[in-house]
Structure 1
Amino acid sequence: MNILRTLLVAVMGAMLCLPLDSFAATKKVIVGFTRAPKDHEKNLVYGARGRIHRTHQHIRAISAELPEEEIARLKQDPSVAYVVDNIKFTLIRPAEPLSVPSPEYVDSWGVLRIGSNVAASRGYKGAGIKVAIVDSGIDYNHPDLKDNYRGGYNFVNNTADPFDDDAQSHGTHVAGIIAARDNGTGVVGVAPEASLYAVKVFSATAGGDMDTVVAGIEWAIDNKMDVINLSIGYSGDIYSIYPDIFKPLKDVCDRAYQAGIVLVAATGNDNRETISVPAAFDSVIAVAATDQNDQRAVFNTVAASSYGAKVELAAPGTYIKSTVSGGGYALLSGTSQASPHVAGAAAVLLSSGIADANGNGSRADEVRARLDATAKDLGDPGRDKYFGWGLVDLSASTDQTYKLHIEKKKGMPKLSTQSITLDKGSYSLQVRNNGLERLAVKSVVGSCKEFERVFATGFTSPLEELNASVTLDGSQTTLVFTPSGDIGSSADITITKLAR
């Protein structure tokens, strides 16, 4: 949509005596400051004959409406960091399909394709993880969603009722992909036990202003969400030329990521080498769409999954059956459907107990790294512009099975020692012996240098198989294996994390 707005003023005869500046065109803007806005900053806006719409809490900015001729003067004030148009974002609308395949082919196929059922069989279903859907709202009465719905906010009307009134039920469809209940009816989501929060920033007809989207993400920060899905977008072409006009949104996305939230967004359906905002930001996982054959999604003769160097992951996005308002279901296609597959995957991975490996107080970067590292490579080897690191794969990312081969070597015992670092949780250990006389296993928590003995076992036969279990209470624990026996004797060790 056009960035510039025109204010049409009906001039009645009785109004002709008003001062000329009464007819000045106004513009919706976001004013950024060098510090958090207080009375001084608000008075600057009022002094420029502005009306304040919203004072933001996590970025140094005020949303306001100002006379156009005042904007240039306001920019000259040393307290002002920037003034940008409060541009209007749109939902990334589903594309019209060329044809519709049989229902048997499409029912929850995306959830299966990314291995969500395998993760669920391991006990990882997103339980306890809070997912904010920044969108058009949610039909929280839907039988597949009501048990997982936990609340939200309507920033369009500033009420506590974020019901989805969009004609295509955009937000409700996204919600079902993420967390429709596994209740024997309808569809099932990627994370069927995750908690859903509706952050309504789009009206039924008018889209959503950037400051409203910013406010929605601020709400997610304040309410300690774990994951944010953003199936929304603005032209990546504009961002590549004028990145500064998106600074308020970029700042709040960066702030959310720093707060430990995993942000996921759709790349767009424009079939161009340009990624929509906010997916183009470094703090956000940009998700492209794939079809049932793991190929780049082509929605019709015009629309296809947008691509570019910023694409990080790919996920199913064609003929996705999910929930719609009124208790029903519908097939929709687009990157808006791909993004929630990854948001749900992030919730599942968080519920698996993935640790804060770098100790920075956030697990968002570990989730991102695990999803990237375990993705199924598609297209050119490694990261490419169509699929990023590949198709998200929960079967691989929740497979916490580790294998070690340990061998008794000549020389000091430490030359034969092997170690592995594990997250908190319970594990089974299977040891297949090949000639060792004894195997000692000790643990060290974090950087502690004092070893806590876990167990040590002797073998009664050279080919014996032993099974044991161990519970690790530290956020991360290193297990150290030391073999005893003849030179060349060995053992194969399989360590599997047990479902909670």
Structure 2
Amino acid sequence: MKIIRLLSSFCLITVMLTSAGALAASESSDPSIAKTYDGTYLVKLNSVTTPPNDVIEKLGGKLKKISESGDIVMAELSGSSLYELKNSPDVQYIEPNYEVKTEVEAEKIESVTETIPYGIQNIHAIEAQQEGYTGKGVKIAVLDSGYSQHSDVKVKSGYSFITNSENYDDDFGHGTHVAGIIAASMNGEGVVGVAPMADIYAIKVLDQGGRGSYFTLIEGIDWAIKHKMDIINISFGGENPSQILEEKIQEAYDAGILIIAAAGNDGYMGDDTILYPARYSTAIAVGAIDSSNKRAFFSAKGPDLDLVAPGVKVLSTLPSNQYGMKSGTSMAAPHVTGVAALILDKNKKLSPGEVADILESTAEPLGVVPEYGHGIVQAKEAVDQTAWK
């Protein structure tokens, strides 16, 4: 355990940089080469007493957005303004605002008679539901591309940090699929989710091209903290570490929120390919396996892998009331999120660390830790090991 530490298709997660490497506020730099650092940055302020606009613009930068917490801003900085700003007493540190992007395609199915997808069966979710645990009342923030109205999965509410509005319509299709894996209804049609009675909140942090940034991810986490979510599902990630993002993940964890994140789909690229934020100690990193419980060739590997779950040709909901299969650790993570919701349904008083301990101690081992973590998550076993509230 860490301390708890993308349709028949392959969901590929890539990361693009919007600017150069991270710069600490105390770091010095030659202003003659500062022009090479023009770009969009995350700025962590020392306090919120000085208006962020004053801090950024008095040194030639352009303030783009302020986080809910008020101490993190996104700003466009020229090389010269970056050089001045990073030495300001108002600034803790500055980092590039890395961009995350999901690339997916889908095999669509117009309609299906109610089907129990193989992933739901392989993790023994139906048995847990038959014991009366359905995720009822558990609040889950799905940070993704939004949600489109679907008869088979209900969403309580949400918000878009792409348009800064309550229109969180899924114009990419990824978020709707993830939501269905977690909580598709038992209604006689379509598919069944892991925790069909869980409360889903669609937080749109990816645009119509499946693109977002570390800042939109941070905004989504802030929303979840403010609205007292129980679980955050993050089915994407980035290759670059970020102290600002890590601190925000820690803040959510300290607020009692369990963070579950896709490990990434670059497992064929090396032996330590887990993405951020899944790699952080206060997030659960989830890899993907197929219907035979074999590791998917693309599933990220490394010592920080915590669990695996079905992530190959996973059937779930799509926009326009359709269904389709997707593959990727994006699909594996919501299986674990659903099981966590079943645990919290039985005992809402458990801390994120306690839920993670149950998930990991009841997982079925499948192989070596860098490829399978503690093994495949097991819903019935996890619920059975959970003490009554």
Distance 1:156 1:50, change over 3 A: same
1:38 CA drift (Å): 3.1
1:79 CA drift (Å): 2.5
Q: How does 1:169-318 map to 2 (within 5 A)?
A: 169-205=173-209, 207-235=211-239, 239=240, 243=241, 246-271=242-267, 272-273=270-271, 274-298=273-297, 304-318=298-312
Tell me the distance in 2 between the aligned counterparts of 1:134 and 1:179: 15
Structure 1, unaligned stretches of length 5 or more?
7-22, 98-102, 299-303, 357-362, 402-421, 425-500
Equivalent residue for 2:50, pick from 28, 39, 57: 39
Give the conservation status (yes or no) of the 8 Å contact 1:354–1:367: no
1:355 CA drift (Å): 4.1
Tell me the distance in 1 between the aligned counterparts of 2:88 and 2:37: 21
Higher relative contact order (CA 8 A, sep 6+): 2
Q: How does 1:411-422 map to 2 (within 5 A)?
A: none
Equivalent residue for 1:344, pick from 338, 346, 359: 338
- Partner-residue secondary structure (3-state), 1:377: coil
What is aligned with 2:383? 398
Give the conservation status (yes or no) of the 8 Å contact 2:145–2:171: yes
What is aligned with 2:361? 373
Q: Give the counterpart letter for 1:374 in structure 2.
A: T
1:248 CA drift (Å): 1.8
Q: Give the counterpart letter for 1:283 in structure 2.
A: T
Q: Give the counterpart letter for 1:191 in structure 2.
A: A
Give the conservation status (yes or no) of the 8 Å contact 1:275–1:308: yes
What is aligned with 2:12? none
- Partner-residue secondary structure (3-state), 1:65: strand
Equivalent residue for 2:168, pick from 150, 162, 167: 162
Q: Give the counterpart letter for 1:229 in structure 2.
A: N
Give the conservation status (yes or no) of the 8 Å contact 2:194–2:335: yes
Q: Give the counterpart letter for 1:164 in structure 2.
A: D
What is aligned with 1:331? 325
Q: Which has the larger radius of gyration?
A: 1
1:111 CA drift (Å): 0.8
Give the conservation status (yes or no) of the 8 Å contact 1:58–1:255: no
- CA deviations over 1:295-323 (Å, ceiling 9, x no partner): 1013xxxxx10110000011000110000
- Partner-residue secondary structure (3-state), 2:207: coil
1:41 CA drift (Å): 4.4
Q: Which moved more, 1:127-136 or 1:79-88?
A: 79-88
Give the conservation status (yes or no) of the 8 Å contact 1:94–1:336: no
1:114 CA drift (Å): 0.5
Q: Give the counterpart letter for 1:260 in structure 2.
A: G
Q: Give the counterpart letter for 2:143 in structure 1.
A: V
- CA deviations over 1:360-397 (Å, ceiling 9, x no partner): xxx211111100110001114xxx11111110001111
1:56 CA drift (Å): 2.1
- Partner-residue secondary structure (3-state), 2:276: coil
- Partner-residue secondary structure (3-state), 1:191: coil
- Partner-residue secondary structure (3-state), 2:370: coil
- CA deviations over 1:191-244 (Å, ceiling 9, x no partner): 000011110011112611211111011001101111111001112xxx3xxx3x
Tell me the distance in 2 between the aligned counterparts of 1:324 and 1:224: 27
Give the conservation status (yes or no) of the 8 Å contact 1:96–1:333: no
What is aligned with 1:119? 128
Tell me the distance in 1 between the aligned counterparts of 2:385 and 2:263: 30
* Greater share of residues in strand: 1
1:145 CA drift (Å): 1.2
Q: Give the counterpart letter for 2:56 in structure 1.
A: V
Tell me the distance in 1 between the aligned counterparts of 2:98 and 2:238: 9
Normalization by structure 2: what TM-score? Answer: 0.86
Q: How many residues were matched structurally?
A: 354
Tell me the distance in 1 between the aligned counterparts of 2:293 and 2:19: 42
Give the conservation status (yes or no) of the 8 Å contact 2:18–2:99: no
Distance 1:307 1:24, change over 3 A: closer
1:2 CA drift (Å): 4.1
Q: Give the counterpart letter for 1:203 in structure 2.
A: D
RMSD: 2.4
1:50 CA drift (Å): 1.9
Q: Give the counterpart letter for 1:143 in structure 2.
A: S
Tell me the distance in 2 between the aligned counterparts of 1:305 and 1:25: 33
Tell me the distance in 2 between the aligned counterparts of 1:24 and 1:392: 46
Tell me the distance in 2 between the aligned counterparts of 1:199 and 1:291: 28
Tell me the distance in 2 between the aligned counterparts of 1:171 and 1:26: 32
Q: Give the counterpart letter for 1:369 in structure 2.
A: D
Tell me the distance in 2 between the aligned counterparts of 1:206 and 1:74: 32
What is aligned with 2:8? none
